[in-house]
Amino acid sequence: MSTTHYLVLSAILFCIGLYGVISRRNAVMVLLSIEIMLCSAGLNFACFSTIYNPSGQIFALFIIVVGAAEVACGLAIFFLSARLSETIDLDKFNLLKG
Amino acid sequence: MEIAFYILAGMAITSAILVVSLKNLVRAILALASLFLSIAGLYILLSAEFLGLVQILVYIGGVILLFLFLIMLTENLFEKSQVNLFQRITGIGLVLLLFGIFISILMKQPFQAIPKTDYSIQEIGKHLLTDYLVPFEVVSLLLLVALIGAIVIAKKEEE
């Protein structure tokens, strides 16, 4: 196995996550797709840490922690907005539209 | 060793495609759980065992639980409006363009084999407490802030 295999896999996962963020209308699905992108970034870091030094693994650890914190806050915001309005369609949240 | 990589990579890509294409939210979350599991397996293949186990503990044991609790506590969480076909094809086209840019940059890298590294937990702990002490403390503060913020945001208002 070479680093190129892992990097290509990470690029594929990133692009799939990006497509999920673009095309999903439900806020929770968008959060799921962001998690896919975070996973691919962590895989990239861990792949390069085998060649250089363990800083890559430590950074992937921080990515995991920040991802978990972001999911908690995002779900709290989503929970509140779903309680206050009747719909969860992302297209309908357009109060700031010019 | 190669067959393990291909099995895990196939599982990861299949799970990711399922996450972005399933209509049912619970099934999408379970597909995300299988994606996390396959990424943990890939971390173990890269001899980052501590990272793989932390991934299983924190992501599968924490984040997936959070999502499932959210589904338990709210109703009507399914998608109503769909993207039309033109938007979907444009989205896929843009994503393929970005993937092409990534591949054209990746292929210029030298083809290095993955060496068998041996970063023990001792070494990672030593790095965390000497070189990366400030990010470590900041991350713990971030977790505290996220905890308090999530509670304050989602709290039911007192009458």
User: Chain A: residue nearest B118 by CA?
Assistant: A50
Distance, in Å, from the CA atom of A43 to the CA atom of A10, rounded to the nearest integer, reads 6
ipTM of the complex: 0.89
Which residue, A42, A51, A88, is CA-closest to B42? A42
Q: Which residues in chain A are contacts of B113 at CB distance < 8 A?
A: 1-2
Digit-coded pLDDT (tens) for B87-143:
888 889 999 999 999 999 988 877 777 777 777 888 888 888 888 999 999 999 999
pLDDT band at A96 (very low <50, low <70, confident <90, very high): confident
Would the pLDDT of B159 be above 60? Answer: no
Residue B12 exposure: Cα atoms within 13 Å on the Cβ side: 31
Distance, in Å, from the CA atom of A47 to the CA atom of B43, rounded to the nearest integer, reads 8
* Phi and psi at residue A25, to the nearest 5°: -100, -15
3-state secondary structure of A96: coil
Contact A58, B128 (CB under 8 A): yes
Contact B39 A43 (CB under 8 A): yes
B contact residues 79-138, partner A, Cβ 8 Å cutoff = 79-83, 87-88, 91-92, 94-96, 98-99, 102-103, 106-107, 109, 111-115, 117, 119, 123-124, 127-128, 131-132, 135
Distance, in Å, from the CA atom of B16 to the CA atom of A9, rounded to the nearest integer, reads 11
pLDDT band at A98 (very low <50, low <70, confident <90, very high): low
Contact A67, B63 (CB under 8 A): yes
Contact B84, A93 (CB under 8 A): no
Q: From the CA of A9, how many Å to the nearest CA of chain B?
A: 7
Contact A10, A40 (CB under 8 A): yes
CA-to-CA separations, B90 to B20, B75, B94, in angstroms, rounded: 16, 32, 6
Model pLDDT, residue B71: 86
pTM of the model: 0.90
Would the pLDDT of A2 be above 90? Answer: no
Tell which of A2, A10, A22, A83 to mutate to test the B interface (max B CBs under 10 Å). Answer: A22
Digit-coded pLDDT (tens) for A36-56:
999 999 999 999 998 888 888
Digit-coded pLDDT (tens) for B63-92:
999 999 988 887 766 666 666 788 888 889
Q: What is the mean pLDDT of residues B27-46?
A: 94
Model pLDDT, residue B155: 81
Tell which of B82, B95, B106, B126 to mutate to test the A interface (max A CBs under 10 Å). Answer: B95
Distance, in Å, from the CA atom of B145 to the CA atom of B19, rounded to the nearest integer, reads 29
